[in-house]
Amino acid sequence: MNPAGRKCADSGIRPGDPEVRRLLTCLQSLINGQSAIGELVACGQIAIPPLREFLLSGRITSVPQPRMWAVEALALLGARDVLMEYLQAPGRGVDAQLEFAEDAVRNTAGRRLSAWRDDRTFEMLLDFCRKRNLPGVIETLAEFERPEAIPCLDRALEDDMCRIAAEDGLGRLGPAARNALALSAATPLPNAGEETPSSLRRRRSALRLLAALGVEPRSWAELRGLLTERDPELAARLAQIASCIANRRDRISAAAGLVAALDRLPWFVRKEAEEALAALAPESMPAIDAELFRRSSKPPRARACDEVLRMLLRLKTTLRQSP
């Protein structure tokens, strides 16, 4: 006998509520629960009402797996309406720990709705994302590749849990997302003097995406105001973009801003920064030479452990060897 008991197909008895409820009890076992999914699906449509009751009214615990398995079973049974009803249902006022666990269930429901790629599903997911961000919902919304989702995907860039999915969705939209990304990159919230950390992370992501997608020259007017930004990652991403579309004066400013920020630059951006300074040559050479002179004047021990000095020396050698 399998862990969840006899299969409905082998029982010889038309499955009814008692059989389904027995399987629902099995579903709540962390050892045997996953194996009950297939049996519940084999019971057919009669399993949907009890599964709906369990999902919408069942007890929320700090262990989300049984409720996640219920979502899996409902998705395999084609019960889209139940999954949508669950995501649209108001919260039940549980504490933070239980709410965190329940978000894992909501994420599963959001991901399983990707099986239905139509307007109704899209509109429901879009409405959900206008109220809050969840990575599973953002992932499915991104898969639709529809420009109407851009505002929600842009806002999700502020969320550490959702950023990767939002970046993927905006990247898929490609040129259609450029204008929105340029506006986002240039918009600190609530304002420039009191920008929140999440707003800064959003703007970094937006510039990173723009650097990868490419920016049209007419968009530079909107971005050139970032030349005065002190954030090192913004300076590096802006320099990448400036190397492709900016005029000589702005190329000089972009290079100077990036060189000034090299000390504070995150390690994972240094390669792109070096490439950007190379692409900004010859306009970047005055800033590079001035920084080399300043750093070369340090005591020998300080020079020996100066990573930026080594990078600039390597960069200058490369530029000298270039045609």
Half-sphere exposure of 181 (CA within 13 A, CB side): 31
The pLDDT tens digits of the residues spanning 159-185 come to 999 999 999 999 999 999 999 999 999
What is the percent of the chain where pLDDT is above 70? Answer: 95
For the chain, what's the residue count? 323
Burial class (CB in 10 A: 0-12, 13-18, 19+), 307: exposed
Local confidence band at 136 (pLDDT 50, 70, 90 cut-offs): very high
Find the mean pLDDT for residues 82-91. Answer: 95
Cβ contacts of 130 within 8 Å, gap of 6 or more: 152
Q: What would the 3-class secondary structure string for the chain be? A: CCCCCCCHHHHCCCCCHHHHHHHHHHHCCCCCHHHHHHHHHHCHHHHHHHHHHHHHHCCCCCCCHHHHHHHHHHHHCCCHHHHHHHHHCCCCCCCHHHHHHHHHHHHHHHHHHHHCCCHHHHHHHHHHHHHCCCHHHHHHHHHCCCHHHHHHHHHHCCCCCCHHHHHHHHHHHHHHHHHHHHHHHCCCCCCHHHCCHHHHHHHHHHHHHHHHHCCCHHHHHHHHHHHHCCCHHHHHHHHHHHHHHCCHHHHHHHHHHHHHHHHHCCHHHHHHHHHHHHHCCCCCHHHHHHHHHHHHCCCHHHHHCCHHHHHHHHHHHHHHHCC
* 16-25, 98-107, 231-240, 295-304, range with the lowest pLDDT: 16-25
What torsion, rounded to 10 degrees, do the Cα atoms 128, 107, 4, 8 define? 40
Total-model pTM: 0.86
CB 306 within 8 A of CB 299: no
Q: What pLDDT sits at residue 11?
A: 35
What are the sequence ranges of the domains in the chain? 1-88+99-115, 117-214, 216-323
Task: Of 13-17, 98-102, 132-136, 315-319, give the lowest mean pLDDT range.
Answer: 13-17
Best CA proximity match to 102, nearest among 114, 113, 118, 91: 91
Under 8 Å between Cβ of 30 and 43: no
What's the mean pLDDT when you consider all of the chain?
91
Q: Is the pLDDT of residue 13 over 80?
A: no
Which of 235, 145, 154 is closest to 187 using CA atoms? Answer: 154
Smallest Cα–Cα separation from 284: which of 306, 240, 254, 245?
A: 254
pLDDT at 3: 37
Q: Which residues of 182-221 are buried (b: 16+ CB within 10 A; e: fewer)?
A: bebbbbbeeeeeebeeebbbbbbbbbbbbbebebeeebbe
Cα 188–chain centre separation = 19
What is the tens place of the pLDDT at every residue in 275-290? 999 999 999 999 999 9
Cβ atoms of residues 77 and 39 within 8 Å: no
Task: Report whether 291 contacts 259 (CB < 8 A).
Answer: yes
Chain-centre distance for alpha carbon 35: 32
Task: Categorize the per-residue pLDDT at 16 as very low, low, confident or very high, splitting at 50, 70 and 90.
Answer: low
Is pLDDT above 70 for 82?
yes
